[in-house]
Chain A
């Protein structure tokens, strides 16, 4: 005990949980990307000292409970509607920094109209888009982003593109819209990619603070439970199959 107390000293501190993260136990599965991205957003908010200024809008999906994990004011939106909800916050509270946090079913399927139009209007907001190619919360159904041949509970023999269409690279569409100023695709599966992802999130929040319009960050993610793979295998599968189709990097940076 005495030895530990010798070590727990401020000068020895190399890492601390962000003060913007609450002490609630996260509801995410082991290996889930949500937890990492939550942490990055919390760190960015803390570093920018904007806890009082930030309003988050969370979706329907696994991250519906994001409001339990970041100690900021939150609005929980109906499925797919976060960009519309955040539009009103951005317009009526222009002094605030608003971000919408959405999954791929939420953003790229049921909420396609809302995200396209919010980005096209250039609403002054950050959009964080977690793309794991599957509906996690409802138990692993096919998403618009599910890769060809990928098995899910509603495409048990693999996604047949003749029947269900092609996986949707919505971020490429978003990048075409003049309202967006920063559109990037990131990952958060290695220390290096986590650092890059955090840089992108920081840039997006800086852009909104500078009233530059919409900054859009896709994070290519895993869903161990939905994919029925271990967290380590999920990361390997993501690198092998997701990255070739969802290529990482900036699509637009103005």
Chain B
């Protein structure tokens, strides 16, 4: 029996984690995502599934707790918002360097600095291009609905363990705070210790038994040639991810002469903008990247022959648009439209930007 509820995006992250058999959540309060830990504390999953929930002393501690839990082969989760995610970057690069699986939720607010508590999409570079030091990538999922906030927790853990790589759910203050109908997942039991040893005993710190060498979780390599070899291994992994895990959605693209490219809440605004534009006779569609790394580069390239122009719509001063331009390679005009600093664009503004920046472009 499918179970439906009306829930906030943030609340559903907590519910989905419990239902997906998550072993631990470690977090620190920050607006606009505090409902995630609040919901967990109210739900008391430690009584239900044994899931550990701990309010850490800092974002830095929280992400390092994630490191410790992930290194045991456990499904561990943390969440924060932009300034807090900046604090977590040290831990995130260690997690990537030690090839550990985990899910990190960023409910993005405007920046830089302390910025605003209102929604933004200005952490794209940080999430997709690095954030911490060194050559690494996160798998980045961009939910556009409360339903996807639910679904991407499970998908995130699946991908994290499949590739032993941190996954970021790059949400924003709109998706985190809004309420929508959501179909909740079925309860999955947490992995038993025996299951963890069977699946992850080759690398996880499950306790050294006589039948195997001791497992060491580290990102340290003092020999530069071995470090380079490891970097090649990571690069190959990211290539495999790029080939196999690209996800996107197309809306009204069949006859489209113009294209919006937008993710997360911007894509919701673009859907309304499509209605308004098509009422004016403008044939515009939407490509919504669901994975931001890997990016749907090839998909964009396959659409170019039919397109007269692309408008990248994002609540930032222009970040994802760079990946659009890398894909398009100058073959059709690409422009960026954004409101930012916590301001959400209206559908009319988006249509106006399409007309002025792309259609009437000289």
- A89:B72 contact, CB within 8 angstroms: yes
Given A73-B206, A113-B58, A87 contacting B65 (CB threshold 8 A): yes
Give Cα A92–Cα B67 distance, bound, in whole angstroms: 12
Bound complex: CA of A112 vs CA of B339, how far in Å?
41
Q: Does B30 contact A (CB under 8 A)?
A: no
CB of A74 within 8 A of CB of B72, answer no
In the complex, identify which listed stretch (A51-59, A197-205, A221-229, A237-245) lies at the interface while the others stay far away: A51-59
Say which residue of B54, B62, B67, B205 sits within 8 Å of A74 (CB atoms). Answer: B205
A75 touches B60 (CB 8 A): no
Task: Tell me whether B91 and A76 are in contact (CB under 8 A).
Answer: no
Q: 8 Å CB contacts to A: which residues of B72-96?
A: 72, 74, 76, 90-91, 94
Query: Scoring A residues 62 to 84 as 1 if CB is less than 8 Å from chain B, else 0, what string do you get?
Result: 00110100011111111001001
Contact of A73 with B220 in the complex, beta carbons under 8 Å: no
Within 8 Å of chain B (Cβ to Cβ): is A48?
Answer: no
Query: When the two chains form their complex, are residues A85 and B65 in contact, meaning their CB atoms are under 8 A apart?
Result: yes
Contact across chains for B216 and A74 when beta carbons are under 8 A apart:
yes
Q: Decide yes or no: A76 and B214 within 8 Å by CB, A85-B68, A87-B54 being known contacts.
A: no
Q: Contact partner of B24 among A72, A81, A92, CB < 8 A?
A: A92
Residues of A within 8 A of B219 (CB): 76
Interface contact A114-B64, CB-CB below 8 Å: yes
Q: Which of A72, A88, A117 contacts B67 (CB 8 A)?
A: A88
Known: A72-B208, A78-B94, A114-B57. A67 touches B69 (CB 8 A): no
CA distance A114 to B64 in the complex (A): 10
Tell me the minimal C-beta distance from B6 to chain A in angstroms. Answer: 32
Note all chain A residues with C-beta closer than 8 A to B205. 55, 73-75, 89
Cα A98 to Cα B127 in complex, Å, equals 32
Given contacts A64-B220, A75-B67, A81-B61, contact A51 B208 (CB under 8 A): yes
**A93 contact set on B, CB distance < 8 A:** 72
Q: B241: CB under 8 A from chain A?
A: no
Interface positions, chain B 115-169, Cβ under 8 Å from A, are none
Interchain CB contact under 8 A, B24 and A78: no
A99–chain B nearest beta-carbon distance, Å: 13
Q: Is B304 an interface residue (CB 8 A)?
A: no
Dominant SS at the B interface?
mixed
Residues of A within 8 A of B220 (CB): 64-65, 76
Distance from B316 Cβ to chain A, minimum over Cβ atoms (Å): 29
Nearest neighbor of A116 in chain B, beta-carbon distance: B57
Do the beta carbons of A88 and B76 come within 8 Å of each other?
yes
> Once the chains are docked, how many angstroms separate the CA of A54 from the CA of B214?
11
Within 8 A of B (CB), among A100-148: 113-114, 116-117
Specify which chain A residues have a CB less than 8 angstroms from the CB of B56 in the assembled complex: 84, 117
**Most central of A54, A87, A114 by chain B CB within 10 Å:** A87
Q: Which residues of chain A have C-beta atoms less than 8 A from B209's C-beta?
A: 52
A87 to B65, CA, bound (A): 6
Do A67 and B218 have beta carbons less than 8 Å apart? yes
Query: Are B61 and A73 interface neighbours, CB within 8 A?
Result: no
Pick from B23, B91, B94, B207: contact of A53, CB below 8 A: B207
B71 close to chain A: CB less than 8 A:
yes
Instruction: Please indicate the chain A residues that have their CB under 8 angstroms from the CB of B71 in the complex.
Output: 75, 85, 89
Q: Which residues in A have their C-beta under 8 angstroms from that of B207? A: 52-55, 73, 96
> B72 contacts A92, CB within 8 Å?
yes
* Contact between chains at A85 and B64 (CB < 8 Å): yes
Chain B nearest CB: distance from A109 CB in Å?
14
In the complex, the chain A residue whose C-beta lies closest to that of B67 is A85
Which residues on the A side are within 8 Å of B52 (C-beta)?
88, 91-92
- Complex Cα–Cα for A89 and B207 (A): 11
Within 8 A of A (CB), among B217-235: 217-220
For residue A75, which residues in chain B have a CB less than 8 angstroms away from its CB? 67-68, 71, 205, 216-218
Whose C-beta in chain B lies nearest to the C-beta of A52?
B207
User: Smallest Cβ distance from B249 to chain A, in angstroms?
Assistant: 36
25 A-B contacts (beta carbon < 8 Å): A52-B208, A55-B72, A67-B214, A73-B205, A73-B216, A74-B214, A74-B215, A74-B218, A75-B217, A75-B218, A78-B64, A78-B67, A84-B56, A84-B62, A87-B61, A88-B64, A88-B68, A89-B68, A91-B24, A92-B23, A92-B68, A113-B57, A113-B60, A114-B61, A116-B57
Q: Which 10 pairs between the two chains have the least Cβ-Cβ distance?
A: A88-B68, A85-B68, A76-B218, A84-B64, A73-B205, A117-B57, A81-B64, A88-B69, A88-B65, A84-B61
- Starting from the known contacts A88-B66, A92-B52, A114-B61, 9 additional A-B residue pairs (CB-CB under 8 Å) come to A57-B68, A76-B219, A78-B64, A78-B94, A81-B60, A87-B54, A88-B76, A92-B23, A113-B61
